[in-house]
Amino acid sequence: MSAPAVTMQQPGLDRAEAAALAATENRRVLDLVRSFDAADWSRPTDCSAWDVHALVCHLVGAFEAFSSLRQLLYQGIAGQRAARGRPHIDGMTEVQVRDRAGLTPDQLVERLAVSGPRAAEGRFRVPGPLRRLPMRQRLPDGSTETWRLDYLLDVILTRDAWMHRVDLARATGRELELTADHDGRIVADVVAEWANRHGQPFSLVLTGPAGGRFVRGVDGEQITIDAVQLCRVLSGRQPGAGLTRHPVPF
């Protein structure tokens, strides 16, 4: 018997659930990276500007930014300078990769092991007033919108690590660890946000370990797709059609 469809409501992860997802995701990133052999580090990824080594540099940099206030402030200032008219986040990721480009794979794994747990914990220690600060961000379709910092801390940083784990598994041919309680929850939150962003009725069947059935309204578009593939489409990594043309931030 198939699982019952989830009728879409307002999205949202509470902080406890978001913290648990972040800790698990950072650990799974580390487990994957630890499995790489020497040849894997130079393989191209779906992030066209980065090979595997550069992508792991970004992840280490992102984790270290939320492991240390000093590092976060440094990346914020250096990233603003590096952006040169581009979105600030582009400058920050450039700095993250540039500053770690000389690290060996073993050094990157070691720093990932240290910074991953610290970042997952540190993100949820940010005081409430700071969590409400507004920030501008660019979407996959090139548009911009204003977020609260807590959306970045609770949702986007975990989605970013998750999608890059997908990128790394695809680049290296490794099996992607997927479970319903972790990956399925991340995907369900993505679907809920996607549903609220486009506001149209739909019936969605997501296949694979992270999948499920989701419905909004009646007589909507009928979609069947692998759960990870849907997220790759919504993140802008491959083109969508119909309602899947509406992007979701990762």
229 and 110 part of one domain: no
186 and 156 part of one domain: no
pLDDT string in tens for the chain (250-residue length): 445 555 445 457 888 999 999 999 999 999 999 999 999 999 999 999 999 999 999 999 999 999 988 998 999 899 889 988 777 888 899 999 999 999 999 999 999 999 999 999 988 888 888 888 887 777 766 778 888 888 989 999 999 999 999 999 999 999 999 999 999 999 999 999 999 999 999 999 999 999 999 999 999 999 999 999 999 999 999 999 999 999 999 9
Distance between CA 243 and CA 93 in Å, rounded? 30
The answer to whether residue 10 is domain-embedded is no
Distance between CA 105 and CA 12 in Å, rounded? 36
Where is the domain boundary, 123, 152, 172?
172
138: tokens are 């660019």
Domain count, the chain: 2
Where is the domain boundary, 147, 172, 197?
172
The answer to whether residue 114 is domain-embedded is yes
Nearest residue to 30 via CA among 94, 151, 112:
112
Domain range holding 201?
181-245
Where is the domain boundary, 137, 172, 207?
172
pTM as predicted: 0.91
